Amino acid sequence: MEFNNPAENNVFDRAKVIGQPLRRIDGPLKVSGTAPYAYERHDAVPGQAYGYPVGSAIAKGRITNIDTSAAEAAPGVLGIVTTLEHDPIENLWDYDPVRHFGGDEILHYHQAVAVVVAETFEQARAAANLLDITYERDESANFDLSKTPQASGDSDADPVQNVGDFESAFASAAVKLDQTYTTPAESHSMMEPHATIAAWDGDKVTLWTSNQMIEWGRQSIAKAFDIAPDNVRLDSPYLGGGFGAKLFVRSDAVMAGLAARKVGRPVKVTLPRPMVFNNTTHRGETIQHIRIGADENGKITAIGHHNATNALTAVGGENATLPIVAFYAGANRHIVNAPAKMHLPNSNAMRAPGETAGLMAFEIAMDEMAEKLGMDPVEFRIANDTQVDPGNPDVPFSDRHFVECLERGAETFGWSNRNTAPGATRDGAWMIGHGVAGAYRPAPVQKSGARVVLEPDGTLRVESDMTDIGTGSYTVMAQTAAEVMGLTIDDVSIDLGDSNYPVSAGSGGQWGAASATAGVYAACVALREQIAERLAVAEGDLTFEDGAVRHGDTSTPLSQIGKGEEIAAEDSIEFGDFRSKEALVSTFGAHFVEVAVHAHTGEIRIRRMLAVCDSGRILNPLTARSQVIGAMTMGVGGAIMEEMAVDHRHGFFVNHDLAGYEVPVHLDIPSQEVIFLETTDPYSTPLKAKGVGELGLCGVAAAIANGVYNATGVRVRDYPVTLDKIIGQLPAV
């Protein structure tokens, strides 16, 4: 099915199942501990051995020797694979051109250099500690972003947006802001680490793994092992979180495959938590120089944004300019993204990549400009709304309700009663502050397919390689199928995450649910057409409801259509370029927070949070809310806790576990409220829905930082906003 024009009135505008707050159909498996995650697939294949990975102890240089003799003699050891045995396995996917294994060159700390295979996990781990690895360290490595030319703006990066005459407009602006903001490296910190079980059958390999994008992974594994993609099967029905770290194949999958092929048995490998931090991907650091100019009335006339970020290769880093090119009006714009090639581990996509760090900085800058202008921060944002792409004013937004998000949020939150003078409101020893920030994230889509099978009993089975990373894919895809075929969700079963099924969009980039449900819709339309052909009736003349198909005065139960046999249909949704040519399709939101800062200690506590989201049709308010409050929680971490500390001497992240890297826990999170505007976007998909899981994170950290300033009068531009950065400047007690 091709989606080449804006969606018209269709079945989803009369929805009975879509839009309902139904509980996740995979929920009972999750809470009972019976959902099978990758490392726990004990019954997937017999004879599983354990592989323990070894990471490099240096960040840049070469391995001159690996002595495996002691490890080979250790109890239970079945075999050892070292990096020196293989040519480099790298550039497996366009967006992830890093080395996963092979060769003597070390490009970053904890690069995978060996895997030891034994009968038990403990034996493999003990033997791994017996490897004697000799390195030749390269002392020329750079691990400090602040010491790169990009950090000072002296880079030759081309502007990502250059409109009008920024320098002249900024110089002549009545009110100006010129500040630098920094955000740290962050870890995805998902509960389930990267894990894979690999088994070979001749020249075919099956990987039971934890991966967000099954087809990307299948193609990557084929390239890694130099076999045909049809000889690769990936199976990943359940993931314990990913947040972008599992978009691409990682070294666990490569090592498991290499080890299984060498020892002739299935091998399972999971990355220890320090290797999740240093071997996989992370959110890159940023140093953002922001300049804003406005007239006396608060209209922005100039926006300048220079972003420096760390990248291991030419691809990567945290492109914090992504939201700035489109979010606010401003006729004169000069925006530059300048990745600095450094020898830290690879930085790549982490939930809302670009928008998260970019809005952490820019939404503070917007508050600082509002203060300079003497304007309310909400009113200043409203005054600079735009209904067209500010970099290309001939292109409108397809559907934009940012102002409504701000106004609805302000009314619900009680913004008019907020603390208006920094440091002026107290609750005992606590200083109370209120903060706001805007949220922006594009609404991309990907081609996505599915197979639907009408069973003889009238129930429906859906098959797709789509993944559920905790986002509710099982549920919203089942709701879609039920809606189109006139069934209840209990009449639909769904199988996901297997590369034997049709290729879907996969989970990432906030495109997953919108694309995958559209793919299910396409498959269901193909099934309806088959049913219409069997009934010798035009598909448009049929009505599917209550488990039956009605044509005229005749109603036929779906269980009778196949006359005792299955009826299968398969199709994909393909999105035409009209979306990008005719409109800019995006999502919008507003975050409001109340914070408390202890007047004696500087301790920061979040008291209440509100998010208002404009994200098209909400497929399931319950699962969508879960996505948004989870993202808001992630934003709390980014605002006041999370920072991967870089050892600038040796090039690694020091706090590379969940003991030293702090993330929010339940006691850190107060009341959270989410409001979804009742909007639909015909340019998005046939369902008129857009993603929301990343939008909920965008701007949260800045709202908190703005609230801390409002509470204390202390402005922190260096994340995370921790008590040590404010305590020396707090008002006298």
Task: Report, as residue numbers or ranges, the catalytic residues.
Answer: 694
Closest C-alpha among 50, 72, 51, 54 to residue 63? 54
Residues with Cβ within 8 Å of 698's Cβ and at least 6 positions away in sequence, in order, are 323, 352, 355, 356, 359, 439, 440, 441, 589
Residue pair 49/268 in contact (Cβ under 8 Å)? The answer is yes
3-state SS string for 182-205: EECCECCCCCCCCEEEEEEECCEE
Question: Three-state SS for 300?
Answer: strand
Amino acid letter, residue 338: A
Of 186, 317, 219, 208, the C-alpha closest to 252 is: 208
Beta strands 567-575 and 448-454, pairing class: antiparallel
CA distances from 437 to 407, 606, 646, 696, 704 (A): 12, 15, 29, 12, 9
- The region, left, alpha or beta by phi > 0 then psi within -120 to 50, assigned to residue 560 is alpha
| Spatial contact of 268 and 196, defined as CB atoms under 8 Å apart | yes
Q: How many CB atoms lie within 10 A of CB 255?
A: 30
Q: Which residues of 576-606 are buried (b: 16+ CB within 10 A; e: fewer)?
A: eeebeeebbbbbbbbbbbbbbbbbeebbbeb
Q: Which two three-digit tokens encode residue 682?
A: 């015909």
Q: If we measure between CA atoms, which residue out of 601, 578, 624 comes closest to residue 730?
A: 601
| Dihedral angle sign, alpha carbons of residues 9, 13, 16, 19 | positive
Phi, psi of 590 (to 5 degrees): -140, 135
- What is the residue-wise DSSP string for 158-174? PEEEEES-HHHHHHH-S
SS percent in the chain: helix, strand, coil, step 5: 30, 30, 45
> DSSP string covering 533-602, please?
HHHTS-GGG-EEETTEEEETTEEEEGGGTTTTS-EEEEEEEEE-THHHHH-B-EEEEEEEEEEEEETTT-
How far apart CA 314 and CA 153 sit, in angstroms, is 18
The token pair that represents 15 in the structure block: 């929805």
Tracing tokens 């922006």 back to the chain, one arrives at: 440
